[in-house]
Chain A
Amino acid sequence: MNGAQLSTRWSSLATLIARLILGGLFIYMGLNKALHPVDFLKLVRQYELFDNHFLLNFVAASLPWFEVFCGLLLVLGIAVRGSALAVLAMLAPFTIVVIQRALGIAAAQDLAFCAVKFDCGCGTGEILICRKIAENLLLMVLCGWLVYCRGHLLALRFDLVPNPQTN
């Protein structure tokens, strides 16, 4: 086995691990919210992002199941790059609104930013904000890895839209 083959094998293994971690976590967090939709609805409401109740309900009703859906695609290895990018597109704005809310709580209660602990509606219960940010950054790195690195190990259909050049 030459160096290039070894590198490809390691890359495939790393991609599989990244898929399992990211997918498993999203299934877990999504189910936690989907099984308690009212609790999640109340938490989403705390962000005061929507004046319209339909939009609030839409987000609270669809987001948890959408997370489960993306998590399943990642674990099964279907549309891996698209799913990872979709997860990244959710994580980035979530992280921003969570930081904004934590800043609001820190200011209102005269707390150090990293001392702020609250249930951000992320599906893991109450958490210290700095830990949440670190977690989200790590998950975003995993998403980035899955978008850019190809590894078809144990993937049912890595690319949903096949590349015409390879056919």
Chain B
Amino acid sequence: MKRLLLEVIIVGVVGLTVALAANALSPRGLKLSRDYFPTAKVGATNAAAVATNNSAGLIPEPQSLAAKVAARLQQKGLKLADSDQVYQLFQDPRYQQGLVVFIDSRDDTHFLQGHIPGAWQLDYYRYETFLAAVLPACMMAQEIIVYCNGGDCEDSEFTALLLRDAQVPLEKLRVYGGGISDWQSKGRPIETGPRNSGQSAPPSAVQPPTK
């Protein structure tokens, strides 16, 4: 029994050491000291469960979900942009001049699969890679729309807070609560590949976003 316990302790200590080393060496590894979810607390009904039970007709009404997101944003001092406002800004001539900026806060895979044409990528969880390129565009812009998958996805909110902390004026920032799901569902244009690739895909060809 003693030998077994000793073996478990050895496995545990060596295993944890190896695990932390692997995380540190992995390019996708997490930073232990970073607070990835600032000022956020998860609700009783979480995104995964809501998404899963969608088929049973059990997801919250869109109205209540939007109201929930709006309340959450208000708590953080952020403004919500609805679907029509976002589309108006997309068609605004200022968009072509760089005075309206769209920020996609999702990861590489999702961004490359399809994003709002001309949107900048700022993956919240790997912001170091993107911030230097995105920040000057944000400083120059008059309006900044940040989005992620939509629904209960909070990454756009965190990204907006990150931009605020990087001295981007809060009044410029708005969060597109519906996110790419709403954009796609309305059949709006989608750009695939890198930013300004010019490659477009019909909405039906783009994979629905996952959480």
- Asked whether A69 lies within 8 Å of B7 as measured between CB atoms, the reply is no
Which residues does chain B contribute within 8 Å of A115, judged by CB atoms? 56
In this assembly, does B4 line the interface, its C-beta being within 8 Å of a C-beta of chain A? yes
**A163 and B3 contact, Cβ closer than 8 Å, known pairs A61-B23, A109-B45:** yes
Neighbour of B29 across the interface among A37, A45, A147, CB < 8 A: A37
Give A139 to B22 CA distance when docked, in angstroms: 25
Tell me the residues in window 17-38 of chain B with beta carbons closer than 8 Å to chain A beta carbons.
18-20, 22-23, 26, 28-37
- Asked whether B52 lies within 8 Å of A119 as measured between CB atoms, the reply is yes
Tell me the residues in window 3-38 of chain A with beta carbons closer than 8 Å to chain B beta carbons.
34-38
Neighbour of B33 across the interface among A38, A54, A108, CB < 8 A: A54
Task: Give A79-97 as 1s and 0s: 1 = Cβ < 8 Å from B's Cβ atoms.
Answer: 1011101100100000000
Give A111 to B41 CA distance when docked, in angstroms: 24
- Interface range, B side: 35 or more
Q: Is the interface of B mostly helix, strand, loop or mixed?
A: helix
Query: What is A's interface to B at a CB cutoff of 8 Å?
Result: 34-38, 41-43, 45-46, 48, 53-54, 57-58, 60-66, 68-70, 73, 79, 81-83, 85-86, 89, 104-105, 108-109, 111, 115-119, 126, 147, 159-161, 163
- Asked whether B52 lies within 8 Å of A65 as measured between CB atoms, the reply is no
**A161 and B3 contact, Cβ closer than 8 Å, known pairs A41-B36, A82-B11:** yes
Neighbour of A38 across the interface among B15, B49, B107, CB < 8 A: B107
